[in-house]
């Protein structure tokens, strides 16, 4: 390392953050880059630790520790410190397909496992990677040349989320002819329609798709495989098929009054907002004043979000930008501790309280944290027209099941309360792949409804059909999806050619 004492000389400094009350006026990204000089200092904090847990990507206590892509973190940080950003980009590209995505939306598993974080703040690896990739795009370093030699093999990739894009890019570079089928009107999957624009500007996705198209990857939109085109036809047309359709089957809430008008799945809500924003050329005034949304206009309305994860937080931030009068977020589980418990040591993922951007904005706007812990909905209350007007909540407590020995969250008698609610957004996670796709291909599924494969493999029970991403491992992170896409591409290439150099 070029600056072995950097972690002693410099304090951690994250990218800048626009004030919550200013950034809620638009859907723009809100983390401006610090200066080049400061970025080098941040990269200099990467210590010569000997064992870089940051790039291990292993499972510890059932949680990932380090980067699943095995990015060469200390090497890229060292190159940034030395000012050799072009070489840092070349090094990062050896293991990573799309740093511009993860450097915006990844929870930074690398930083949680950083050795510097054992006794101090971890290295700003995520921000460093964003600096590298944006420098590379700005200076014309990011290229996707069409392969000089084609293998004559054709591969269909179903789904254009991060796993599908990663698989398609790798297979195309290998020389196979790749066609990506997407049921929506634009590429990106949940990158585009599940993550709000303020976290990942959709023009960042467009920039990458344009490079892939230039390199020879074909994208077919508004085509739902399993409905518009059957698997039998696809398998006749292509040598291999990769299923990368995600885990887009949302988990429902089955409380009384569920048929009330004004209850939406979070993924549908976020998709509609993202699509309208793009259709209106990112004009936020047209979006916030729009009455053509499924729920009409959110100005002055009370929103309740069921689910305390990232998607729930995205719903909070989006609802605020659309002018909601109040936003409440219900979380079934207890409030996490502010500091690590002895039972959760480094380098495990830190199970501590995280206040994300949407919650920060709610605190700044409404004066309090929108989250209510250990609470769920007992009943959706309707008016005489069937429209939602409130939700009845109930507190939960952990109790041990005498038969199974498991701890379950159960209702507390007499703890019911009522909250105003004009709109409810269900962000309770996903149950796995959708039936019509898996049934059409006839692939086996496991108990979690994910497409089944042998351990560590990506070939399904149906010959010539492979799978990757959330459809394979269940709802997960973008970085895991990219890792799965790259790994599936290697498996497909090996099956086609008898060997692989991916």
- pLDDT 10s per residue in the chain (502 long)? 668 899 999 999 999 999 999 999 999 999 999 999 999 999 999 988 989 999 999 988 888 899 999 999 999 999 999 999 999 999 999 999 999 999 999 999 999 999 999 989 999 999 999 999 999 999 999 999 999 999 999 999 999 999 999 999 999 999 999 999 999 999 999 999 999 999 999 999 999 999 999 999 999 999 999 999 999 999 999 999 999 999 988 999 999 999 999 999 999 999 999 999 999 998 888 777 666 688 888 999 999 999 999 999 999 999 999 999 999 999 999 999 999 999 999 999 999 999 999 999 999 999 999 999 999 999 999 999 999 999 999 999 999 888 888 889 999 999 999 999 999 999 999 888 889 999 999 999 998 889 999 999 999 999 999 999 999 999 999 999 999 999 999 999 999 999 999 9
The H or E element that residue 40 is part of is helix 36-44
What b-and-e string marks burial along 355-385, b requiring 16 or more CB atoms within 10 Å of the CB?
ebbbbbbbeebeeeebbbbbbbbbbbbbeee
DSSP string, 395-422: EEEEEE-TTT--EEEEEPTT--EEEE-S
Give the 3-state DSSP-derived string for 46-86, with helices as H, strands as E and coil as C. Answer: CCCCCCCHHHCCEEECCEEECCCCCCCHHHHHHHHHCCCHH
Nearest alpha-carbon partner for 316 in 380, 365, 361: 361
pLDDT on residue 187: 98
pLDDT on residue 402: 85
Residue pointed to by tokens 């990011």: 142
pLDDT on residue 294: 85
Helical axes 202-214 vs 266-279, angle rounded to 10°: 70
pLDDT on residue 447: 87
> Can the peptide bond before residue 495 be classed as cis, meaning omega within 30 degrees of 0?
no
What is the Cα–Cα distance from 459 to 481, expressed in whole angstroms? 16
Q: Which structure tokens are listed for 60?
A: 């510890």
The H or E element that residue 155 is part of is strand 154-158
- Domains detected in the chain: 6-138 (1.10.1060.10), 154-248+431-497 (3.50.50.60), 263-426 (3.50.50.60)
Q: Are the beta carbons of 98 and 208 closer than 8 angstroms? A: yes
Residue 53 sits at φ, ψ, to 5 deg, of: -55, -25
Q: Are the beta carbons of 380 and 257 closer than 8 angstroms? A: yes
pLDDT on residue 1: 64
Q: Are the beta carbons of 130 and 34 closer than 8 angstroms? A: no
Query: Considering just the CA atoms, what is the radius of gyration of the chain in Å?
Result: 23
pLDDT on residue 219: 98
What is the Cα–Cα distance from 489 to 244, expressed in whole angstroms? 11
DSSP label at residue 390: E
3-state secondary structure of 375: strand
């Amino acid at each position: 390392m070029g600056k072995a004492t950097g972690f002693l000389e410099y304090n951690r400094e994250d990218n800048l953050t626009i004030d919550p009350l200013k950034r809620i006026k638009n859907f723009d990204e809100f983390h401006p880059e610090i200066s080049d000089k400061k970025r080098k200092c941040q990269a200099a904090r990467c210590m010569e630790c000997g064992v870089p847990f940051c790039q291990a990507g292993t499972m510890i206590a059932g949680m990932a520790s380090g980067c699943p892509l095995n990015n060469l973190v200390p090497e890229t940080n060292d190159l940034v410190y030395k000012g050799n950003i072009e070489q840092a980009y070349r090094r990062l590209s050896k293991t990573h397909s799309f740093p511009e995505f993860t450097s915006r939306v990844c929870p930074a598993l690398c930083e949680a496992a950083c050795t510097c974080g054992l006794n101090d703040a971890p290295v700003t690896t995520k921000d460093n990677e964003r600096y590298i990739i944006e420098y590379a795009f700005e200076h014309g370093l990011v290229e996707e040349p069409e392969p000089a030699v084609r293998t004559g093999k054709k591969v269909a990739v179903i789904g254009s989320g991060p796993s599908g894009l990663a698989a398609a890019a790798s297979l195309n570079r290998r020389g196979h002819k790749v066609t990506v089928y997407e049921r929506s009107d634009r590429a990106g999957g949940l990158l585009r329609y599940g993550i709000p624009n303020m976290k990942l500007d959709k023009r960042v996705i467009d920039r990458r798709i344009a490079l892939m198209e230039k390199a020879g990857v074909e994208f077919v939109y508004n085509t739902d495989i399993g409905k518009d085109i059957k698997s039998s036809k696809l398998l006749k047309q292509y040598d291999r098929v990769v299923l990368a359709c995600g885990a887009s089957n949302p988990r429902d809430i089955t409380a009384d009054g569920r048929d009330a008008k004004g209850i939406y799945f979070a993924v549908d809500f976020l998709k509609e907002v993202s699509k309208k924003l793009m259709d209106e050329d990112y004009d936020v005034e047209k979006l916030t004043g729009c009455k053509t949304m499924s729920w009409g206009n959110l100005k002055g309305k009370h929103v309740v979000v069921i689910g305390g994860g990232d998607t729930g937080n995205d719903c909070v931030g989006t609802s605020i930008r659309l002018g909601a009068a109040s936003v409440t977020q219900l979380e079934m589980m207890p409030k996490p501790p502010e500091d690590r418990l002895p039972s959760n040591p480094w380098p495990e993922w830190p199970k501590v309280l995280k206040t994300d951007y949407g919650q920060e904005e709610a605190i700044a706007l409404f004066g309090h944290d929108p989250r209510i812990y250990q609470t769920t909905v007992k009943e959706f209350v309707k008016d005489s027209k069937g429209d939602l007007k409130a939700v009845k909540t109930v507190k939960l407590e952990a109790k041990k099941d005498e038969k199974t020995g498991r701890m379950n969250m159960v209702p507390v008698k007499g703890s019911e309360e009522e909250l105003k609610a004009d709109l409810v957004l269900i962000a309770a996670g996903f149950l796995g792949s959708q039936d019509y796709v898996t049934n059409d291909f006839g692939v086996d599924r496991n108990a979690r409804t994910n497409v089944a494969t042998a351990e560590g493999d990506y070939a399904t029970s149906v010959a010539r059909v492979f799978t990757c991403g959330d459809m394979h491992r269940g709802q997960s992170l973008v970085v895991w999806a990219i890792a799965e896409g790259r790994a599936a591409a290697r498996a497909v290439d090996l099956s086609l050619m008898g060997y692989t150099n991916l």
